[in-house]
Amino acid sequence: MTPAHQYPTGTVLAPVRRAALLKWARMRRAIIIEDDYDAEYRYDREPIGSLQGLAPDRVVYVGSASKVLSPALRLGWLVMPPDVADDVARAKLQTDRGSSAFEQLAFADFLERGAFDRHVRRTRQIYRRRRDALVGALRAYLPALRFYGVAAGLHLMVELDQSVDEQAVLAAAKRRLIRVYGASAYRAKPQSGPPALVVGYGGLPESSIREAVKHLALALAECGETYRR
């Protein structure tokens, strides 16, 4: 689960829900897997405390360098209860015979020299500007739409009207070379919520975002929906 920034809605798990979840885990002797996949990128709020810090005996904390550096590094880490550590280490070894020592040593040096912190501070400002550009373009070209997940991460979820065919919008956007994703793909029951789009901005140059949203608005208009004022 992703309690600090749920994917794709961007929702933060409320304190009362956190407490209820940890109570359930203790009663059932269950293990919670906490994926803090983009904790480094937050713009309008203070860091959210981890579940693992509240219940280190019940929570496995998962982190990764994939968002901050590159998925190609294939580096991640786990903070876990001692009673499961040996089993997890054994399963990891059996799965892929271990991770490359070269990348791990390079990443350790990156951390020790403070280069990782400097990199995060610099890229956070870059992504914040891209986030702001996307929000500004959505308000200009699609002002009636609601969107979520603004405070952190590298994507927004844009909610559409109930009458919209989500798949038709995706196809229309693809024809205009705009890649967005349907929120239904991330739901246990695809039709359990309103149609919505997951719009990433991490890989887009800031200068391209406004034009991309303009074409997304045209794709929505192709589907018979107009969201302009």
The reported pLDDT for the residue numbered 227 is 54
Q: How many residues comprise the chain?
A: 229
For range 71-75, the mean pLDDT? 85
Bigger pLDDT: 164 or 115?
Answer: 115
The reported pLDDT for the residue numbered 118 is 95
At residue 169 the predicted structure's pLDDT band, cuts being 50, 70 and 90, is: very high
Domain at 126-222: CATH architecture: Alpha-Beta Complex (3.90)
The residues of the chain that CATH labels 3.90.1150.10 are 126-222
> Per-residue pLDDT tens for 75-125?
889 999 999 999 998 988 888 877 788 899 999 999 999 999 999 999 999
At residue 225 the predicted structure's pLDDT band, cuts being 50, 70 and 90, is: low
Rounded CA separation 73/94 (Å): 20
Report field, pTM of the whole predicted structure over 0.95:
no
The residues of the chain that CATH labels 3.40.640.10 are 15-113
Q: Does domain 15-113 have CATH number 3.40.640.10?
A: yes
